Amino acid sequence: MQSAAETVPVLEEDADGLKTEGPVIYIELDKPSASAAKEPEYMGVFTVSAYCGCSQCLGENRRKLTYSGTSPKAGYTIAADLSEFDLGEKLAIEGNNYVVEDKTADNRSESLSIYFDSHKEALSFGIREVEVYRFPREESEHEGEYIGEFLLTGYCSCNICCGEDNGDMTYTGAEPRAGRTVAADPDIIPLGSEIEVGGCIYIVEDTGKEIKGNRLDIYFDTHDEAVVYGRRQEPVYLLGQ
Identify the band that residue 1 occupies on the pLDDT scale cut at 50, 70 and 90.
very low
Read off the CATH number of the domain in which 65 is found: 2.40.40.10
Residues 127 and 185 in one domain: no
Give me the count of residues in the chain.
Answer: 241
Q: Is residue 140 part of a domain?
A: no
Q: Is residue 196 part of a domain?
A: yes
Average pLDDT, the chain: 81
Residues 151 and 111 in one domain: no
Residues 78 and 151 in one domain: no
Q: Is residue 45 part of a domain?
A: yes
Residues 126 and 149 in one domain: no
- Give the least confident one: 52-61, 90-99, 160-169, 207-216: 160-169
Residues 218 and 172 in one domain: yes
Domain residue limits at 66: 41-134
Identify the band that residue 182 occupies on the pLDDT scale cut at 50, 70 and 90.
very high
pTM above 0.75, yes or no: no
Q: Is residue 216 part of a domain?
A: yes
Q: What is the DSSP string of 58-76?
A: HGGG--SS-TTSSPP-TTT
Residues 202 and 222 in one domain: yes
Q: Is residue 25 part of a domain?
A: no
How many domains does the chain fold into? 2
Phi, psi of 120 (to 5 degrees): -60, -45
Asked if pLDDT for residue 101 goes beyond 50, the answer is yes
Q: Is residue 22 part of a domain?
A: no
Residues 47 and 111 in one domain: yes
Q: What's the rounded mean pLDDT across residues 200-208? A: 93
Q: Which of 165, 175, 163 is nearest to 219 (CA)?
A: 175
Q: What's the rounded mean pLDDT across residues 157-164? A: 84
Identify the band that residue 96 occupies on the pLDDT scale cut at 50, 70 and 90.
very high
Q: Is residue 75 part of a domain?
A: yes
Q: What is the distance between the terminal CA atoms of the chain, rounded to a whole angstrom? A: 37
Q: What's the rounded mean pLDDT across residues 168-183? A: 91
Residues 81 and 61 in one domain: yes
Residues 128 and 46 in one domain: yes
Identify the band that residue 240 occupies on the pLDDT scale cut at 50, 70 and 90.
confident
Residues 231 and 149 in one domain: yes
Residues 153 and 88 in one domain: no
Residues 106 and 86 in one domain: yes
- pLDDT > 70: what percent of the chain? 78
Q: What is the distance between the alpha carbons of residues 131 and 45, in angstroms, rounded to a whole number?
A: 4
Q: Is residue 29 part of a domain?
A: no
Exposed/middle/buried for 144, CB within 10 Å: 0-12, 13-18, 19+?
middle
Q: End of a domain among 134, 157, 183? A: 134
Q: What is the tens place of the pLDDT at every residue in 14-51?
A: 555 544 455 544 444 444 444 445 788 999 999 999 99
List all residues 6 or more positions away from 60 whose beta carbon is below 8 Å from its beta carbon. none
